[in-house]
Amino acid sequence: MKKLITLVFIVAAFAVSAQKKKAKEQKPAEPAVEQKVAPAVDTVKKQQAPQANPLVEHFIRKYQLATRWGDESEARDAIYDLIAENAVNDSIIYNLALSYFDSRQYAPALLVTRDLLSQNPKSINLLELQGASYEGLGLKEKALPSYEAIYLQTSNVGVLYKMAALQFDTKKYPEAITNLDIILTKPEALTLKATFNDALGKPKDYVLKVSVLNLKGLIVQETDKVAARKLYTEALALAPDFAPAKENLAKLK
């Protein structure tokens, strides 16, 4: 997942907007016929310069220091303070959800994200965060609709593979097979990468097609061992050191 983005620009923009709005509300209406001599340039600049909100600046500084010194709790507390000052700023609330997710506090991450999705139901970032939060809670069947919603908007092959993996985990085998077969027809299957541990237990990137063939083999092996053996063999032809396919093929013998 993404790291927490800096809140300075988000909140600074809010502070400027709020001060401009306040200045506009407080400015008395000018007489319709009265003409005024234009003030000196320096005076104009001083009048137009927005005044920073000291309280918001304090919360930003608190967030920056807590983030620098690795205090996630205080950084999150600063985000709450900023939300209290600007409850309508969804960008700040989104950072709160990310903070919870990065801390593996998936339940509050999910609740915050669901509130944001009620206002912006098609947000790719929010749907991804919702799906990942459900996964963090072990609720894979509930995570699936989030990724389905993303795929409907993007047709992203990586997302389709994620869906197939979740369908496998939740025993939705026909749906998983359908999606895996779609992926095998896409050129991205040979360009996108999936990370697995190699024979030495070290993470290594493999082309997506290798994992797709292996996953399809796992599904069909219960009913067709010959087809499964062919799929594992094809995966190993692309990546001879792909440990999952090696192990699965060995179990068939």
Set out the domains of the chain in order of their start, with CATH numbers. Answer: 157-253 (1.25.40.10)
pLDDT tens-place string over residues 13-70:
444 344 444 434 443 333 333 333 333 434 334 444 455 688 888 999 999 999 999 9
In angstroms, the Cα distances linking 159 to 101, 112, 153, 175 are 20, 23, 11, 14
Compare 86 and 57 and report the one with higher pLDDT. 57
| C-alpha–C-alpha distance, residues 248 and 196, integer Å | 14
| DSSP string over 193-209 | EEEEE-TTS-EEEEEHH
Q: pTM for the whole thing?
A: 0.76
pLDDT given at position 52: 66
Ranking 41-50, 76-85, 168-177 by mean pLDDT, the lowest is 41-50
Which residue type does 205 have? D
Q: Which neighbouring-strand residues pair with 203?
A: 197
pLDDT given at position 36: 37
| C-alpha–C-alpha distance, residues 253 and 248, integer Å | 9
pLDDT given at position 50: 52
A 10 A CB-CB count for 57 gives: 14
Closest CA relative to residue 216, chosen from 253, 149, 165: 165
| C-alpha–C-alpha distance, residues 125 and 154, integer Å | 12
DSSP one-letter code for 175: H
List CB contacts of 35: < 8 A, sequence separation 6 or more.
none
List CB contacts of 38: < 8 A, sequence separation 6 or more.
44
In angstroms, the Cα distances linking 231 to 76, 133, 146, 168, 234 are 48, 32, 29, 16, 5
List CB contacts of 115: < 8 A, sequence separation 6 or more.
93
pLDDT given at position 51: 59
pLDDT given at position 228: 97
